[in-house]
């Protein structure tokens, strides 16, 4: 579902409740983020994608993906706290390509993790999704910086596992940069595979907000516009999973696999 140019937060939340996903253009997303604080370090934040490490877990398949990863903990309110370095894990139910193993990625750099832009994004997501799951008192938040590279004769695959769910409650995807790239269309599907909608993240801060318990998502391969020049697609993916506090079951809306 494509929103109007400047929807407010309640409108977006209503779309997510109705459809399981929403697309938001970059200008509108920036306004929503800046309602809670300026993105003072955006240039440095975006430039940090030039320092991502290769995804060694895809090396054998020749796929050009670079990434960094970090885990945060968030209460229903208050500061978002970075957790010690830990692996990213998905079960085979959600990731048949790379599930069932602990994947250790290079950590997000401290300057990025503590910077105004990322902190504002994390808090926005916590508050936005928290209103949809008001019983949730604690969130596990995983942050992924991705760069997908493409070259002549070798398309880049933003979702090598295909159309999938992440096994969390909610997902926020933000475009950071596209350079010399064509395609890269995000598709949203029902669990039975039926197509619900599609859109392309094309401008900085174009955003997809996804209820991961209700819908699946994927991204079509990207190819270079000019095969003689470097080409990449940079995105930030932030996942939110409700965690139980001592003595109570999870309060979120989706899977905790």
Given pLDDT bands bounded at 50, 70 and 90, which one contains residue 230?
Answer: confident
Within 10 angstroms of residue 251's Cβ, the number of other Cβ atoms is: 18
- Mean pLDDT throughout 33-53? 94
Q: How far apart are the first and last CA of the chain?
A: 27
Q: Which two tokens stand for residue 199?
A: 């859109």
- Mean pLDDT throughout 38-65? 82
Q: Which two tokens stand for residue 103?
A: 């994947």
Structural fold of domain 9-242: Jelly Rolls (2.60.120)
3-state secondary structure 30-57: HHHHHCCCCCCCHHHHHHHHHHCEECHH
From residue 117, alpha-carbon distances to 32, 38, 41, 112, 114 in Å are 12, 8, 6, 8, 9
Residue 15, pLDDT above cutoff 50: yes
Tens of pLDDT, residue by residue over 136-194, are 999 999 999 999 888 766 666 666 667 878 889 999 999 999 999 988 899 999 999 89
């Amino acid at each position: 579902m494509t929103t109007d140019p400047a929807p407010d937060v309640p409108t977006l939340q209503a779309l997510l409740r109705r459809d399981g996903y929403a697309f938001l253009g970059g200008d509108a997303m920036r306004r929503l983020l800046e309602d809670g604080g300026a993105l003072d370090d955006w240039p440095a934040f975006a430039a940090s994608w030039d320092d991502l490490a290769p995804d060694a877990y895809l090396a054998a398949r020749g796929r050009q993906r670079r990434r960094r990863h970090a885990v945060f903990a968030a209460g229903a309110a208050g500061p978002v706290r970075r957790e010690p370095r830990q692996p990213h894990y998905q079960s085979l139910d959600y990731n048949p390509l790379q599930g069932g193993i602990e994947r250790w990625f290079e950590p997000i750099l401290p300057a990025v993790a503590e910077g105004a832009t990322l902190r504002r994004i994390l808090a926005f997501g916590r508050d936005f999704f928290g209103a949809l799951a008001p019983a949730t008192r604690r969130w596990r938040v995983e942050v992924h910086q991705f760069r997908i590279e493409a070259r002549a004769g070798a398309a880049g695959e933003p979702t090598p596992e295909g159309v999938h769910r992440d096994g969390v409650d909610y997902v926020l995807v933000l475009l950071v940069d596209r350079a010399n790239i064509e395609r890269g269309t995000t598709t949203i599907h029902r669990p039975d595979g039926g197509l619900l909608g599609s859109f392309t993240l094309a401008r900085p801060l174009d955003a997809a907000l996804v209820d991961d318990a209700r819908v699946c998502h994927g991204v079509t391969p990207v190819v270079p516009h000019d095969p003689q020049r470097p080409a990449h697609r940079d995105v930030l993916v932030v996942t939110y999973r409700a965690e139980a506090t001592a003595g109570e079951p999870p309060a979120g809306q989706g899977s905790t696999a």
